[in-house]
Amino acid sequence: MACLSVIATNLAQFPPMEKKIAEYILENPKKIRELSSQELATILNISQSGVVKFTQKLGFKGYTAFKLAISEELGRSELVASKSALHLHNEITGDDTLLEIAGKLLLEKQSALHETMNALQPQIFELVVEQIFNAKKVHITGVGGSALIAKDLTYKLLKIGIPAFSEMDSHVQLTIAQTLGPDDVQIAVSYSGMRREVVLAAEVAKKQGARLVTITSLKSNPLKSLADYALHSVADESQWRSSSISSRTAQNAITDLLFMGLVQHNQEHANSLIQQSRELVNKISL
């Protein structure tokens, strides 16, 4: 796993001082190439030994070896970016056969799923399942590719009897958010956590007293800062891409796990509703 991905995946588990170092590295990876351990320590107002020990915890002999690994990782990403005209998506090029494309896509998706599950915090996840199960209304927001994730989760929740709503129109999202109250939950989906439409809807929901669940990347972002419960999807979005393939795969893993957790939470009732839904669909099938 790439060095920056390792840091991002373990961000939630770091103690406060190490988390401070990790967040700075994730937000300023290019600066790290130019900073000494003492300079980084001064910026963060911590000891130089704290910086060195953090890099050793990651498996490096010291800060110099860590800085070299960061430089090499950024160099690879920059090389891919410089050749973006030859790339269709991340490592996929116009010269690849369909079989090679299939293999690269599979590896990309597997990596996103594996790293997302590694970042999972079971206790928080169980609390989210409980909040959704007990909510009077569940409002799910997202724009672009995340709106598709929101709509899919809405359908799944409705199938097991949970009153869920999602609309792709950002104006309607704000209107729904205004109707929420203390007994309701809003689930906000945004990999970057920086989409203004989603952040604004989250702010409205919080103002109304609703619980906010966010599904974002591990990096600090405006949406996650509002969350009562933060869930993380992990994907390599640093390279040139044609679509949000790996991030959408990671988000789907989270929402599918939420659905299965809710089915397990109320197995008999959920399975009964799923069976009824299947029978109704069969009636309209040709």
Does residue 142 share a domain with residue 260? yes
Average pLDDT over residues 175-198: 96
Q: Which residues of 161-188 are buried (b: 16+ CB within 10 A; e: fewer)?
A: bbebbbbeebeebbebbeebeeebbbbb
Would the CA dihedral through 80, 81, 83, 87 be positive or negative? positive
Task: Look at 13-22, 103-112, 225-234 and tell me which has the smallest mean pLDDT.
Answer: 103-112
Does residue 80 share a domain with residue 134? no
State which of 4-8, 167-171, 226-230, 238-242 shows the largest mean pLDDT: 226-230
Number of domains in the chain: 2
pLDDT of 140 higher than 60: yes
Average pLDDT over residues 116-122: 88
Domain that holds residue 180: 122-282
Does residue 63 share a domain with residue 202? no
Task: Look at 57-66, 127-136, 181-190 and tell me which has the smallest mean pLDDT.
Answer: 57-66
Output the pLDDT for position 54.
Answer: 93
Q: How far apart are CA 219 and CA 27, in angstroms?
A: 8
Does residue 278 share a domain with residue 141? yes
> Does residue 46 lie within any of the structural domains?
yes
Does residue 239 share a domain with residue 137? yes
Output the pLDDT for position 80.
Answer: 55
User: Which tokens belong to 215?
Assistant: 């599904």
More confident residue, 90 or 142: 142
pLDDT of 95 higher than 80: no
Output the pLDDT for position 72.
Answer: 84
Average pLDDT over residues 178-187: 97
Output the pLDDT for position 240.
Answer: 46
Closest CA to 144 of 168, 119, 127, 120: 168
Does residue 181 share a domain with residue 256? yes
Does residue 245 share a domain with residue 160? yes
> Does residue 28 lie within any of the structural domains?
yes
Output the pLDDT for position 83.
Answer: 52
Does residue 223 share a domain with residue 272? yes
Distance of CA 189 to the CA centre of its chain: 8
Average pLDDT over residues 229-236: 88
> Does residue 143 lie within any of the structural domains?
yes
Q: How far apart are CA 35 and CA 25, in angstroms?
A: 11
Does residue 128 share a domain with residue 75? no
Domain final position from 87, 113, 146:
87
Q: How far apart are CA 193 and CA 195, in angstroms?
A: 6
Q: How far apart are CA 252 and CA 150, in angstroms?
A: 9
Domain final position from 87, 102, 136:
87
Closest CA to 156 of 284, 246, 273, 244: 273
Output the pLDDT for position 246.
Answer: 82
Q: Facing residues of 229 across strands?
A: 213
The whole-model pTM stands at 0.71
Does residue 148 share a domain with residue 78? no
Output the pLDDT for position 131.
Answer: 97
Q: How far apart are CA 66 and CA 7, in angstroms?
A: 12
> Does residue 103 lie within any of the structural domains?
no
Does residue 157 share a domain with residue 23? no
Q: Facing residues of 29 across strands?
A: none
> Does residue 20 lie within any of the structural domains?
yes
Output the pLDDT for position 85.
Answer: 45
> Does residue 93 lie within any of the structural domains?
no
User: Which tokens belong to 113?
Assistant: 């799923």
SS (H, E, C) the chain: CCHHHHHHHCHHHCCHHHHHHHHHHHHCHHHHCCCCHHHHHHHHCCCHHHHHHHHHHCCCCCHHHHHHHHHHHHHHHHHHHHCHHHEEECCEECCCCHHHHHHHHHHHHHHHHHHHHHCCCHHHHHHHHHHHHHCCCEEEECCCHHHHHHHHHHHHHHHCCCCEECCCCHHHHHHHHHCCCCCCEEEEECCCCCCHHHHHHHHHHHHCCCEEEEEECCCCCCCHHHCCEEEECCCCCCCCCCCCHHHHHHHHHHHHHHHHHHHHHCHHHHHHHHHHHHHHHHHHCC
Average pLDDT over residues 132-144: 96
Task: Look at 108-117, 177-186, 194-203 and tell me which has the smallest mean pLDDT.
Answer: 108-117
Q: Facing residues of 152 across strands?
A: none
Does residue 145 share a domain with residue 230? yes
Domain final position from 87, 113, 130:
87
> Does residue 258 lie within any of the structural domains?
yes
φ, ψ dihedrals at 25, nearest 5°: -65, -45
> Does residue 102 lie within any of the structural domains?
no
CATH code for the domain of 277: 3.40.50.10490
pLDDT class of 82 with cuts at 50, 70, 90: low
CATH code for the domain of 44: 1.10.10.10
